[in-house]
Structure 1
């Protein structure tokens, strides 16, 4: 067995400063962001992880008086290529709707809202975990009443993550409307599918900015798509809040882009600290997808933190080029790798499963939030117990809103993921920002205000000037359990307490 490299042990026991006053002085004098991250993370993980967040860092009323026939709620106003991708209830966006759901959709298309509600009730009685039907029922309950409209854009590619996002949007819409809506106007949600495709997403964003009824957008999914659409939304002065995109390069890219998830810097810092300071490992092999902005971002941030804290990246493997082979894993072991890190994308999840199974629990495997996936647990089973992931939220974390967890379990008859919570937060932020001034300009002014602070599913929400959320990531491990139905569950893990 290779001897474990030497690490200065006193760094593992106490942070390299004596007081918060000294920390503040160091922060002002230090222009090296990785040294600053290291200091803050050491304090955050040893004495309270929340302190890491300090390291990273025209009014026209378009709300209710516009004729819906001139909006995206009408197919006639959509480009032909987008008509199958946009719906407020008049068409099914996901395959194989039930007979009852189809009846509800047909009733909405005919403005027969009472029959639509009855049909959606029957559909949800059979499949209570269907957020598309839930949103359509919410919209049917609005009928012809005064409403504010937002769009929620999901990838559709990888239907599981799309439904996770829509559960958050559906639950937020339900909570907002049953509590009086936005200054008395109810919230209407339009679902949009961008196929995780940049060209489709650009066409969608152009359509949304031209629709005066749309006051805000929740989306998109991938960082690549969010990067390309951000300038379009800025041109239309339309606020977008992404609940999923994590790439570092999104920070400050547009004054109209916000996020309810931390950037990859937080995730990478938590994983690197766990590797170097908790496990006292030194050499990591990284698997990534060079075609994915988020994957490249997480890889680069993780490598920077590991190097700054005395570790080494002994190998990097691009899964987009040739996938995964066992020879690659053997080569990583020959290069003295004591840790595997998977910066996966949606497109390389199958390769991630292969890596985890080939590793068979021999080396610890670190990963970002893309690996937080029930299918991965099903396909890797006991081998998944080598995993430690960094995620924005977990329903069992101590700072989670217990009422949100209880309500979500009651609505969806099971546990929800971080994607559901962060999408819930995004919808809630838009609805809160529209209070008092339900315009695009009013929403942006509210989100930019120093007074904007909101209690959400995943804790207090406020935004940095860059549009990033003031929040850190949590670590989760995998243990045998029954919550997911896969035989194994993701469980919160606080290594430095």
Structure 2
């Protein structure tokens, strides 16, 4: 890859148009070409990209500290030593800020003129309701980056630089972000996007440009079909695809309900894929799927009371809730409302989109009767995950970097995605600087049936053809009382009868 160089790009027409159309949103940012030879020239302005893609000169998350803002300003001026020190100061005040960790690591690479590989991660950083999810993903990426860059050997002597891209969980923004990333001659691969909908909107851009897109959270089986139709598919994932998770989910549900109705978002690729698999796999477990007149969680006029009345008339024993990942305003809200209105009468099972702090907050003032007959599928949980051989190192690292091992599944699967890219990067030839060839070689390494690496959740390998995770982690969790938790509630693996039994310290 080319050594770091800073090029002034005149984008006057674009800037004026963007300022008019976007009210200043499309502010342009500095960015840096790959320093593969360790030679930095900081005397000239740098190439600019839209502000929602940054490696340190723009703060994406709101409520940034003064030190963090000053660090970004220093980074923008190519004063990387100052930026490194200021990001470090920001981390002293907020040590579990993954955005600051990534920017600090990037500034350190540039200040020390270390050679590096570059990847990007796409998250919905601007959406307030999604910022915790975005931070969870970034923690997984940052944790791997930190370990690599602090090691002596690094990746064949090269560090890891990470761009953060914000698609705002918007289909149009996701595609725009993808178009910018693939045009960059530094970035080798992308981790993202968060939802199946945004991933689907952007995937064709990555495919056309043969850039690996490795998702830690997109589960729709649309991508399985997509990969089977592409001779050189660039999509991979470290989370279970819906068919695998629904099969696991159905086995757990059938123990409590043999007649169930599924509620999902009609406008969601993720929800539709889950529903289609459930319609097929649940009957194979001996269950019956009961059709009701209202099953669209994304509909504004959804009525929980009418739904429950009809469910009782039809002899329904279980409710399956599959809200989308935040691409519609009403979906999660309606799922929670139905859970509350049920008052513990029917068994309720939810997809991983309900493994959400908003659910705990909504149920905080309710009695145990409301949430006792409620179980949620999740890819990973720290209680059991940290006790596995593969999870022990991950959780020890998390404790060191974030001050806690109680990270969520998004951190674990994003860690696995970054570990997979790290393992693949180690196999790239050092003497090839052709970005097109390097991207293709990276894809071929991941697709090789002999490829595997150790992640937080186990061994990461990919199925031939579909590029699905071969043996993904799967877990069912329940809500238990935990007074010391923010909402007074916590998700714990189903086998535990209390949060304390699961190892949580719940005393106030």
CA distance in structure 2 between the partners assigned to 1:443 and 1:275 by the alignment: 40
* CA drift at 1:154: 0.5
Q: Structure 1 unaligned segments of length 5 or more: list them.
A: 1-62
Q: Structure 2 unaligned segments of length 5 or more: list them.
A: 10-28, 33-44, 228-232, 430-437, 497-508
Corresponding residue for 1:193? 166
Task: State which of 169, 183, 186 in structure 2 corresponds to 1:210.
Answer: 183
Is 1:274 equivalent to 2:274 in the alignment?
no
The size of the alignment, in residue pairs, is: 428
Is 1:312 equivalent to 2:288 in the alignment?
yes
Corresponding residue for 2:80? 113
- Partner of 2:188, secondary structure, is strand
Task: State which of 261, 278, 281 in structure 2 corresponds to 1:285.
Answer: 261
Corresponding residue for 2:307? 328
CA distance in structure 2 between the partners assigned to 1:261 and 1:72 by the alignment: 33
Note the alpha carbon deviations across 1:405-431, whole angstroms, 9 max, x for none. 122133223311111111111111112
Higher percent of residues as helix: 1
* CA drift at 1:486: 2.5
- Partner of 1:341, secondary structure, is strand
* CA drift at 1:191: 0.2
Is 1:73 equivalent to 2:31 in the alignment?
yes
Q: Determine if contact 1:154/1:221 at 8 Å carries over to the other structure.
A: yes
- Partner of 1:217, secondary structure, is strand
Corresponding residue for 1:469? 469
Corresponding residue for 1:253? 226
Tell which has more relative contact order, 1 or 2 (C-alpha 8 A, sep 6+): 1
CA distance in structure 2 between the partners assigned to 1:171 and 1:294 by the alignment: 28
Corresponding residue for 2:70? 103
| CA gap 1:68/1:384 in 2 versus in 1, 3 angstroms | farther
Corresponding residue for 1:173? 145
| CA gap 1:372/1:271 in 2 versus in 1, 3 angstroms | same
* CA drift at 1:123: 1.4
| CA gap 1:291/1:91 in 2 versus in 1, 3 angstroms | same
CA distance in structure 2 between the partners assigned to 1:201 and 1:174 by the alignment: 27
Corresponding residue for 2:21? none
Correspondences of 1:138-153 after superposition (within 5 Å): 138-143=105-110, 144-153=113-122
- Partner of 1:245, secondary structure, is coil
Corresponding residue for 1:29? none
Greater mean deviation of Cα atoms: 373-382 or 336-345:
373-382
Is 1:446 equivalent to 2:436 in the alignment?
no
* CA drift at 1:159: 1.3
* CA drift at 1:265: 1.1
Is 1:405 equivalent to 2:395 in the alignment?
yes
Is 1:377 equivalent to 2:360 in the alignment?
yes
* CA drift at 1:125: 1.8
Note the alpha carbon deviations across 1:389-409, whole angstroms, 9 max, x for none. 111111122535112112213
Corresponding residue for 1:10? none
Greater mean deviation of Cα atoms: 185-194 or 439-448:
439-448
TM-score (norm 2): 0.80
- Partner of 2:382, secondary structure, is coil
Q: Determine if contact 1:356/1:380 at 8 Å carries over to the other structure.
A: no
- Partner of 1:152, secondary structure, is strand
- Partner of 2:493, secondary structure, is strand
Corresponding residue for 1:486? 487
Task: State which of 357, 377, 382 in structure 1 corresponds to 2:340.
Answer: 357
Note the alpha carbon deviations across 1:462-491, whole angstroms, 9 max, x for none. 111211001242211222235743222212
TM-score (norm 1): 0.82
Q: Determine if contact 2:120/2:190 at 8 Å carries over to the other structure.
A: yes
Greater mean deviation of Cα atoms: 133-142 or 432-441:
432-441
- Partner of 2:426, secondary structure, is coil
Greater mean deviation of Cα atoms: 368-377 or 395-404:
395-404
CA distance in structure 1 between the partners assigned to 2:380 and 2:307 by the alignment: 32
CA distance in structure 2 between the partners assigned to 1:121 and 1:85 by the alignment: 23
Note the alpha carbon deviations across 1:311-340, whole angstroms, 9 max, x for none. 212235101122343222222222211111
User: What is the Cα-based RMSD across aligned positions, in Å?
Assistant: 2.1
